[in-house]
Structure 1
Amino acid sequence: MADTRFDVLTIGNAIVDVIAHVGPGFLAREGLAEGIMHLVDEERSIYLYDRMPADKRQISGGSAANTAAGVAALGGRAAFVGKVADDPLGDIFADDLRRIGVHYGVSRLASGPSTARSMILLSPDGERTMNTYLGACHRLTEADISEDEIGAATVTYMEGFLWDPVEAKKAFVRAANYAHRHERACAFTLSDPFCVDRYRDEFLDLIRSQTVDYVFANVNELKSLYETDDFGAAVQQIARDAELAAVTMGADGAMVVHNGEIVAVPAFPVDPVVDATGAGDLFAAGFLLAVSRGQELEMALRLGCLAASEVISHIGARPVLDLEELAVEHGLGGGEPVPA
């Protein structure tokens, strides 16, 4: 096995989250339905971006990037692979990841669509209205996958949100092959029931062919994968298909299915839940970091649930507390990185 530089390397959509509070009349003037996620084209994204308040907050985002940020916040060694353009928002994305300690070395897109952005409009009542332009992040290709980086990561984790572009699918498979060539684990998250509905057969093939070793899902995604309303039946199916499946259950906590056995832990209480965005991403961060450092599965579940509980206690998909310190307070610190 090659030297290990990263505990977890994640692959996914590279999106800049642009967050701003807007007045009560803003959404109506722009013809936006409150609380809905709208996919927009580049022209519309530029239009809305220019009309957002000047004090908007801009931060690197995207599901897998959030997971990498969570790993770093827990004291782990994280890397991210995703595509941005050679433009100002691309600078923001790359600089932000480096600032929080996530390795990011993917080449910029020199021509073509601009960096992806998700404009998140916060209404006075706290409701989030999202307008997402996917842009450059869908231009990830096999050429962006470095065998050296994949081989240097204990676990490579990929998001289902990036399964739409054909070239990105090829990049995923190449990354999985590199991971296995270096005797590393490959993990995959189903991301969303809509992703599962579009690509059910392909996702099942990834799992059953052992292209991916670990599967992450929430209850609805898992039931969608097996086209059943019976959660227990879906758990039995994933137990047959996957080496390991980690399933989040909201307020009921999380479970892992491994070698025919189920381990479950309760959620950490959060009152009130302010914003559930990023809960699954941060759960994956805690779980994967613990697993990469050889900790027991119950400990991995608990660390994942702790990270998720922090992020749902405030607005935004990134932790605001010191997660590493929080883990130690709850007796969840420890585990040594694989030597570099």
Structure 2
Amino acid sequence: MSEYDVLCIGNAIVDIIARAEDDFLHDNQIIKGAMNLIDAERAELLYERMGPAVEASGGSAGNTAAGIASLGGRAAYFGKVCDDHLGAIYRHDICAQGVAFDTAPLPQTPPTARSMIFVTPDGERSMNTYLGACVELGPEDIEEDKVAASQVTYFEGYLWDPPRAKHAIRKAAEIAHAHGRQMSMTLSDPFCVDRYRDEFLDLMRSGAVDIVFANEDEVKSLYQTADFSTACEAMRADCRLAIVTRSEKGSIAMSKTETASVIAHEIDNLVDTTGAGDLYAAGFLYGYTAGRSLEDCANLGSLAAAVVIQQIGPRPQVSLRQSAIDAGLVKG
């Protein structure tokens, strides 16, 4: 029996979230709906210009780990922070959610990563990320015992930006597969796909990655087609299990022989889409590692995403397990 359901590997980032109008994005040359990598100087400039903000531990895979723990799953996390104020916040938050996090912090510099996230009235989030300590995540941070003890190791495509992280991921994949475990990734965003299309396709086609999460824009970008069905069938052929989210249109999960399409979970009020894809992955992987059907997994993902987009911030502020029980998706 595995010790962990899912081990998540990602950029450990503290999110600084504020509301903004579209004019603010235009005036500050921020690409709407994307994750924009910035340097320390621009990070300080945007922080000075943003309005009242909420600080919350984030990072795509960290959010997924927190979601799995909130559902009652056993989650672990690898990510690099600095031994500074934001690093202490990050470590406290993820451990308080019940996630095993033992990656050694950097003693001094660079500082813990932070992302200035501007949420426009339509709920869309535009991220401006200074990676800081994240760039120091490397093969030495891969704890072999945790990888071997996890049913699925999941990582974010954003890790292809820091140069040493991709070596860490390849090491984790070798360990996981040597122990009969599976590797999973999320494509993260269309701009990330544009930067690393060939490498992502190689990860899938070589079998280094078994399970891939994408949204509609990302999968079309990956296969450079405007036709959704064409992109989905190509993705089905390239990996063991492909999952594509479509916002209010629901999601689709595809193995070589099976397809499950589910509708989006209904919400009362869209507040902030930050973390929607991360929490969808949490719900899906929670179900997957519990042996649930593809339809059940997709419904759990839809529920988790629906909960998080009705609040500010990417980590669930209510028990996802209780939400799943109330929705009849998990037994009490």
Equivalent of 1:154, from 133, 136, 151? 151
Once residues 15 and 85 of structure 1 are traced to their aligned partners in structure 2, the CA distance between those partners, rounded to angstroms, is 11
Aligned-pair CA distance for 1:93: 0.6
Deviation at 1:7, TM superposition (A): 1.0
> CA–CA distance in 2 between the matches of 1:23 and 1:227?
31
- List aligned pairs for 1:1-340, cutoff 5 A: 3-20=1-18, 39-46=37-44, 49=47, 56-121=53-118, 130-334=127-331
Q: Structure 1 residues 286, 35: closer, same or farther in 2, change over 3 A?
A: closer
Once the 2 structures are TM-superposed, how far is the Cα of residue 207 of structure 1 from its aligned partner?
0.3
User: What do the CA deviations read for 1:254-286 (whole angstroms, capped 9, x no partner)?
Assistant: 111112321111111224322222111001000
Instruction: Report the secondary structure of 2:204's partner residue.
Output: helix
For residues 71 and 99 of structure 1, the distance between their equivalents in structure 2, rounded to whole angstroms, comes to 13
Give the match for residue 338 of structure 1.
none
Letter in 2 for 1:257: M
Tell me the distance in 2 between the aligned counterparts of 1:278 and 1:230: 26
**Aligned mates of 1:119, 1:204 — CA distance in 2:** 30
Q: Structure 2 CA distance, aligned partners of 1:23 and 1:190?
A: 27
CA contact under 8 A between 2:56 and 2:313: conserved in structure 1? no
Contact 1:215-1:246 within 8 A present in 2 as well: yes
- CA apart distance, 1:44: 3.9
Bigger drift between 195-204 and 28-37 goes to 28-37
* Identical-pair percentage: 52
Is 1:160–1:189's contact at 8 Å kept on the other side of the alignment?
yes
Task: After superposition, give the CA deviation of every residue in 1:140-194 in whole Å (9 maximum; x if it has no partner).
Answer: 1000001101111111101001112231111111111111111111101111111
Q: Is the 8 A contact 2:135 2:163 kept in 1?
A: no
Kept in 1: contact 2:137–2:164 (CA 8 A): yes
User: Does the CA-based 8 Å contact 1:214-1:245 persist in structure 2?
Assistant: yes
Change (3 A) 1:115 1:76: same
Return the alpha-carbon distance in structure 1 between the equivalents of residues 283 and 124 of structure 2: 27
Q: CA deviation at 1:131?
A: 3.5
The separation in 2 between residues aligned to 1:19 and 1:131, in whole angstroms, is: 10
Counterparts in 2 of 1:128 and 1:210: CA distance versus 1, 3 Å = closer
How big is the shift at 1:87?
A: 1.1
CA apart distance, 1:74: 0.8
User: 1:132 Cα deviation (Å)?
Assistant: 2.1
**Matched-pair contact (CA < 8 Å) for 2:123–2:270:** no
CA contact under 8 A between 1:58 and 1:92: conserved in structure 2? no
Tell me if structure 1 keeps the 8 A contact 2:138–2:167. Answer: yes
Amino acid at match of 2:149: A
**What is the one-letter code of the residue matched to 1:176?**
A
Counterpart CA distance in 2 for 1:122 and 1:269 is 21
Secondary structure of the equivalent of 1:166? coil
- The residue type paired with residue 14 of structure 2 is V
Aligned residue pair count:
332
After TM superposition, give the deviation of residue 250 of structure 1 in Å. Answer: 1.3
Q: Name the SS for the 1:275 alignment partner.
A: coil
TM superposition shift of 1:253 = 0.9
- Report the residue type matching 1:297 in the other structure: L
Secondary structure, in 3 states, of the residue corresponding to 2:219?
helix
TM-score by length of 1: 0.89
- For residues 168 and 261 of structure 1, the distance between their equivalents in structure 2, rounded to whole angstroms, comes to 33
- Unaligned 5+ segments in structure 2 are none
Superposition deviation, residue 57 in structure 1: 3.1
Between stretches 279-288 and 124-133, larger displacement belongs to 124-133
Are 2:35 and 2:189, in contact at CA under 8 Å, matched by a contact in 1? Answer: no
Superposed CA RMSD in Å reads 2.7
Q: Distance in 1 between matches of 2:91 and 2:309?
A: 25
User: Structure 2-normalised TM-score?
Assistant: 0.91
CA separation of 1:257/1:125 partners in 2, compared to 1, >3 Å: closer, same or farther?
A: closer
Which secondary structure does the structure 1 equivalent of 2:328 belong to? coil
The 8 Å contact of residues 84 and 108 in structure 2, kept in 1 or not, is answered as no
